Each structure stands twice: as C-alpha cells, then as structure tokens.
Amino acid sequence: MRPATRLPGAPPFVQGLINFRGVIVTVLDLGRRLDPARSLASRGSILLVRHQGRLIGLAVDQVVDVRDVAGDLIPGGAIEGGAIRGIGRAGADDVILLDLDVLIQQVLLS
C-alpha cells in the first residue's frame, strides 16, 4: 500500500490523501481517532466506502475475512446516534456491525 500524502494542519486521525483511479480520496484512521495515543500504522489496508456520495478511505490494520451476516440481526439502536447498527452471527462468531455513515459523520464533525 502506498502511504497517503499527509495534509499539513489536518487532525492526527486524517492519514492524508490517496489517488484512487484518478479520484482523490481522504483516508481516515478511525483507530487513531478512538485512541489518540495509537501510532500511525505504516502497513495495512485501506477500505474504500461511499459516504454521502463520495469515496472515503478507512485505514485498517488488516482484513481477516469477508462474510455474510445472518439475517437475524439484533438491532443496536438503543443508544441514540450510536454507531453500532446491531449484533449478528457470522458462522460461529458473534460480530458487532458498525454503521459506517454514523461513525464517519461523528469523526468528521468532531
């Protein structure tokens, strides 16, 4: 992975910008946003997501697996404005599903 170009004056959780097929994409490190003491990862992957019509990159340490989640999702909306969409099952594992739109919005507004 080519490192993102840092932006002077940007918050520490903004890794910078990358050029993805001619589109300039802002890369956010949500782990750094949640734990400011965390050092920037020099290696890893960038997960591209669409948020309000534009591409945003999310820096992740690694992608372990991609799975379908069973339809019997337990809603996580008990906390108003929370970023947890629900809890589900992926095989024998319990998984917490994040609402990336809410999470990104919270990061961008902070």
Same domain, 38 and 70: no
The verdict on 27 and 14 lying in the same domain is yes
CA distance 11 to 38: 14
**What pLDDT, in 10s, does the model give residues 30-81?**
777 777 777 765 557 888 888 888 899 988 877 777 766 656 666 655 555 6
pLDDT given at position 36: 73
Question: Cα–Cα distances in Å, from 89 out to 25, 70, 78, 86, 94?
Answer: 32, 6, 19, 10, 5
CATH number at residue 29: 2.40.50.180
57 and 79 share a domain?
Answer: no
More confident call, 106 vs 55: 55
Residues 56, 2 share a domain: yes
- Verify that 59 and 93 share a domain, yes or no: no
Query: 6 is in which domain, residue-wise?
Result: 1-64
The residue from 45, 64, 83 where one domain ends is: 64
Do residues 5 and 24 both lie within one domain?
Answer: yes
Residue type, 12: P
Amino acid 56 reads: I
Tell me what pLDDT residue 61 has: 78
